């Protein structure tokens, strides 16, 4: 069963368009993360959140922005997509033992969104 | 600074062979956690195991086993009797309090199991 969801799974879009990648988790986790990854390559942390109304930038500079208005929801937005944004975006969450009964601080990942900007 | 090194970028084996994926880490913390994740071609990262720095006992789960050795700062992963479905990229990762509990990933090892 999937406890962390990402939509869309695949997105092809033209340069200059605004896009929002959705991420939701049902595990009651307080921390959430966004990673950028070229397929099969190293993961780069671009944003994270410790809880509602908390957002921080990660190690890799990104033109994207995030928001955390609800615990379960952590959307990522690109105001003006460019070909250099073409990549896979992975969302993850971690936290204290919640409804899932899983380990504290283990990050669980969503299925990812593969973005292609033409 | 923390660092995770997976020196093997790509490994190719024939089905039923055993294969070991190496992971070497660097940290100054005395309390830390080590992880392995599997990333199949579909793209998601699947959590496999989490070990803490105080528990050096090796672990076995079916065909998977993990060898944690603090003396050599290594956390190696062995797949016994490999299968085609094991083909994936495998990531080793390190987490510690002094790094804000963030994960430091290795570069990954691509495992190809041929029939």
Of B45, B89, B106, the CB nearest to A109: B45
Residue A69 has pLDDT above 90, yes or no: yes
Q: Are A5 and A108 in contact (CB under 8 A)?
A: no
In angstroms, the separation between the Cα of residue B113 and the nearest Cα of chain A is: 16
**Do B43 and A39 count as a contact with CB atoms less than 8 A apart?**
yes
Chain A segment 40-99 residues within 8 A of B by beta carbon are 40-43, 45, 48, 88, 90, 92, 94
Check residue B23 and give its pLDDT. 98
Structure tokens at A79: 């105001």
In 3D space, the residue among A112, A114, A110, A113 whose CA is nearest the CA of residue A24 turns out to be A110
Give the pLDDT band of residue A9 (cuts 50, 70, 90): very high
Of A63 and A11, which is predicted with more confidence?
A11
Q: Are B77 and B23 in contact (CB under 8 A)?
A: yes
Q: Where are the beta strands (DSSP E) in A1-118?
A: 4-7, 10-13, 19-25, 31-37, 44-49, 56-57, 65-66, 76-78, 87-94, 108-109, 113-117
Determine the Cα–Cα distance for residues A40 and A38; give it in Å rounded to an integer. Answer: 6
Average pLDDT value for residue range B25-51: 93
Structure tokens at A43: 């993961």
Per-residue pLDDT of A100-115, as tens digits, reads 555 568 899 999 999 9
Of A45, A106, A109, the CB nearest to B50: A106
Per-residue pLDDT of B64-104, as tens digits, reads 999 999 999 999 999 999 999 999 999 999 998 776 778 99
Of B11 and B52, which is predicted with more confidence?
B11
Bridging pattern class, strands B10-14 and B109-114: parallel
Structure tokens at A53: 């109304």
């Amino acid at each position: 069963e999937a406890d962390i969801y990402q939509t869309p799974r695949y997105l092809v879009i033209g340069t200059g368009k605004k896009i929002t990648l959705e991420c939701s988790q049902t595990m009651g986790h307080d921390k959430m993360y966004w990673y950028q990854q070229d397929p099969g390559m190293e993961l780069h942390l671009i944003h994270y959140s410790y809880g509602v109304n908390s957002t921080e930038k990660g190690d890799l500079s990104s033109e994207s922005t995030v928001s955390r208005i609800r615990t379960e929801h952590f959307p990522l937005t690109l105001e003006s997509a460019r070909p250099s944004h073409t990549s896979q975006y992975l969302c993850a969450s971690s936290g204290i033992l919640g409804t899932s009964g899983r380990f504290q601080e283990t990050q669980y990942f969503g299925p990812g969104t593969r973005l292609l900007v033409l | 600074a923390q660092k995770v090194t997976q020196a093997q970028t790509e490994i190719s084996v024939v089905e039923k062979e055993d294969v070991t994926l190496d992971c070497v880490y660097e940290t100054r913390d005395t309390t830390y956690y080590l992880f392995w994740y599997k990333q199949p071609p579909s793209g998601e990262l699947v959590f496999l195991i989490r070990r803490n720095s105080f528990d050096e006992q090796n672990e076995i789960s079916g065909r998977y086993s993990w060898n944690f050795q603090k003396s050599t700062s290594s956390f190696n992963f062995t797949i016994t009797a490999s299968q085609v479905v094991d083909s994936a990229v495998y990531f080793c990762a390190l987490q510690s309090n002094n790094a804000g509990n963030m994960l430091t990933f290795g570069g990954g090892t691509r495992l190809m199991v041929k029939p």
